[in-house]
Amino acid sequence: MNPKPVLRRICLVAAVLGLVVAGAVPPATSPQNESLAQAYKIISSKQFVDLTHSFSPVTPVWKGFGHATFSGAADPETGQPYIIAKDGFRASFYSMVGQYGTHIDPPAHFDPNGMTADEIPPKQMILPLVVFDITPMLKGDPNHALTVADIKNWERRHGRVPAGCFAALRTDMYKDWNANPVRFERYPFPAWSFEAIKFLYEQRGIVANGHESMDTDTSKSLESEKWLLTHGHWQIEAMAHLDKAPATGALIVVTWPKPRHSLGFPARAFAILP
């Protein structure tokens, strides 16, 4: 083997590294930045699916909270709302409970010592997505709750639920959100069973879960919701368009504002399809 070509490559790499350190080569050419650029190029070429409802003063909400009110933000000195013609700008004022529309339930929603929404690590806000579709079962059982047996049947078709993922429950309830709000707010409704929630977190190591309904389960004590929130987990409620996401292979991105010590807030969730 001729060592000269190898030595020339080593010298070339050393020279490039020296230029990078010296600042002569823009940071964008570094391996780390190049990998992020490549990742963005791949992601931006994919299809995005919005998993979030828009919300308004007539949005479905738990009767114990009541509907939001929207108004124009007003000058505190005059009480008059700001308008573009007079002030050059306008702004909105919102009054609503944190658990409104598509929203985040952090552990502190049920746990006095749990994480608040602002304390959830950003790395948990982009995760692999798995979707359990129980719509075929709803024809015979309109209020079917996902079971451990359902999960294992899903795994036989799609492989083991990956640790570190976000698990979503597709029921197609979201289609009633605007079209038939009374039906959307019905009780009971298709949901998670307590055993399924425990299995996914304890045996499969999921990070978070989400669903189209406004609650995790239909038990009087909300045992599934209470268990997951009091065990350090979080969830997204009132999701939409899960019928447009595949069973596996997509990523989910979930974001929400960051009020200090937040017990819940409207969220924006979307899927990046494979």
**Nearest Cα to 241, choosing from 209, 270, 217, 215?**
270
Greatest distance between any 2 Cα atoms in the chain: 86
Domains of the chain: 49-54+98-272 (3.50.30.50), 62-96 (no CATH)
Residue 162 CA to chain centroid, in angstroms?
17
Residue 90 sits at φ, ψ, to 5 deg, of -145, 160
Q: What is the pLDDT of residue 31?
A: 60
Calculate what percentage of the chain has a pLDDT beyond 90. 88
Question: CB under 8 Å to 46, separation ≥6 — which residues?
Answer: 272, 273, 274
Band (pLDDT 50/70/90 cuts) for residue 32 is low
Q: For the chain, what is the radius of gyration of the CA atoms?
A: 24
User: Can you tell me the mean pLDDT for 45-68?
Assistant: 97
Residue 270 confidence (pLDDT) above 70: yes
Residue 85 confidence (pLDDT) above 80: yes
Residue 39 confidence (pLDDT) above 60: yes
Cβ atoms of residues 253 and 245 within 8 Å: no
Looking up tokens 């979930």, which residue turns up?
254
Residue 23 confidence (pLDDT) above 90: no
Q: What is the pLDDT of residue 34?
A: 80
At 146-165, the pLDDT tens digits run 999 999 999 999 999 999 99
